[in-house]
Structure 1
């Protein structure tokens, strides 16, 4: 019993160390991610009167009306939303968000003292949006947020998990972009801000969910054993055998199912063609995959 107790204590100690190591890694990544985020705002979007949406865009608009630093406004406007986040997500979540928020405020205010990298609005919209999306995506992957609309979107994701994060941002940001057009009285700025918002939300989804790199494949063939052997030993692809039945013929059939990357999907297509030209092959995109070798089934949706 004592040995069991010691083993349990040792296991808990290892788990605690692993958890702390993950938290340290996350804070390092958050620190690095806030730099491109601040560069995107201070050196691209803000100096070109591009309000990209969200609380960042609102801060830029209020800056034009009041003259208060954009970074400081971003922090002030976040306070009521942070209180809402603390109520819904707890203290640990808010601690990492406050850390990210403080760094963004600091870096943005420091970088605004320098000349903007470009005055070309199209280039500013593209580069600034990609940098903001990169920073925001990494922070979200570290189970924190950059404050503002991120927290609102995280709350909405709980209620509507089938809507992607980027799509929710786009819906909320549209209102900010329209308001920006009224404040700046510049249709051109509104168009570029809309471009910026579209790029940000698209790039954000790529950072969070990755590219559509997986393929779900179904194979129905009279030579399933030969195909299975090629998939298992030539491609090292996992294969699941499903048992089906033809609705018209009522003939029993084995259906091969596997999930692979794009590169191996092409090779599987070649193997099937070479083995059985009469095979029935279905290749479709796999949006999200959970389980061994893929995403953790119990991990919170970002």
Structure 2
């Protein structure tokens, strides 16, 4: 029996009659919220410990909060500003992007705002952690970019200008990285007016790095291997794909132009770990097989993205 069938039967037995699809939906929802928590945590660490102390306004609501907290004085904390702005933009997200996005983003937005406020109370920072602004800029960009990519990859967000970016992506052909660049650019420019030139240039550099990193990380999170296998006997290879890797494959006929022999072409897609095992197996059972392996991050269909 296929491994997926074992899982379905187990879920049905444990559910006391609930449908397998319902249980899988619940399991995926729990997994999504675990990833949202992880993504928000990375954003919070990068923002609070590296972005806030250095006044790096790398776009986003947190960037706006840095500017407004400087203009309004210490009476209103950055965490409070983030919470208020996120609530406003969250309502906009509910109306335009739908309930599913709104629920996930509401959780991410509230978790971000509350976490920042808790850190302000527990670990008040009066100055940067180090005397190396470039080092701190790297962490201020890398950690939030990684966290944001994890969130975007499952259709969630920390709220704020991320919502504006996803709205732009929904109604235009602009990718997430460029959408973020557009929605954050004006806020980053304001850094020059509020802080010094050095902070402004650091902020611009950080924004450019962030917009590039988000798309790169999303592609790597979804990276899979696309196999084109040309051989004479496809059965052992297909059996291995079905029963050991638990993926499927497509076979069609072909003819070699050089040897004028009948061939079979196998098409299959799998993750990087599975690809290593399949490549080793093919070399063992059919050393003469011709293998083309291509990286792909856009796969839509059963077993991948819906």
Using the size of structure 2 for normalisation, the TM-score is 0.71
* CA deviation string 1:244-273 (max 9, x = no partner): 578999997543323243535754785699
Which structure 1 residue ranges, 4+ long, deviate > 6 Å from structure 2?
245-252
CA contact (8 A) 2:220 2:297 kept: no
User: For the structure 1 residues 245 and 55, does the alpha-carbon distance in structure 2 shift closer, same or farther, using more than 3 Å as the test?
Assistant: farther
Q: Quick one: which of 48, 51, 55 aligns to 2:54?
A: 48
Taking only aligned residues, the RMSD between alpha carbons, in angstroms, comes to 3.9
User: For the structure 1 residues 269 and 249, does the alpha-carbon distance in structure 2 shift closer, same or farther, using more than 3 Å as the test?
Assistant: closer
Instruction: Give the corresponding residue for 2:287.
Output: 274
Q: How far has the Cα of 1:21 moved from its partner?
A: 5.9
CA contact (8 A) 2:249 2:267 kept: yes
The separation in 2 between residues aligned to 1:255 and 1:53, in whole angstroms, is 49
Q: How far has the Cα of 1:29 moved from its partner?
A: 4.8
Q: How far has the Cα of 1:47 moved from its partner?
A: 0.8
Q: Which runs of 5+ in 1 are unaligned?
A: 1-9, 298-302
Q: Which runs of 5+ in 2 are unaligned?
A: 1-15
Instruction: Give the corresponding residue for 2:158.
Output: 146
The separation in 1 between residues aligned to 2:227 and 2:38, in whole angstroms, is 39
1:256 aligns with 2:266: yes
Instruction: Give the corresponding residue for 1:110.
Output: 118
CA contact (8 A) 1:224 1:256 kept: no
The separation in 2 between residues aligned to 1:32 and 1:259, in whole angstroms, is 28
Instruction: Give the corresponding residue for 1:3.
Output: none
CA contact (8 A) 2:237 2:282 kept: no
Q: How far has the Cα of 1:50 moved from its partner?
A: 0.8
Instruction: Give the corresponding residue for 2:138.
Output: 126
Number of residue-to-residue matches in the alignment: 280
CA contact (8 A) 2:166 2:179 kept: no
Matching of residues 180-219 of structure 1 within 5 Å: 180-186=191-197, 188-205=198-215, 208-211=218-221, 213-219=223-229
Q: How far has the Cα of 1:123 moved from its partner?
A: 1.8
* Partner secondary structure for residue 267 of structure 2: strand
* Partner secondary structure for residue 289 of structure 1: coil
Instruction: Give the corresponding residue for 2:236.
Output: 229
User: For the structure 1 residues 174 and 224, does the alpha-carbon distance in structure 2 shift closer, same or farther, using more than 3 Å as the test?
Assistant: farther
Per mean C-alpha deviation after superposition, the further-off stretch among 139-148 and 66-75 is 139-148
1:168 aligns with 2:179: yes
The separation in 2 between residues aligned to 1:121 and 1:60, in whole angstroms, is 17
The separation in 2 between residues aligned to 1:274 and 1:93, in whole angstroms, is 48
CA contact (8 A) 1:228 1:239 kept: no
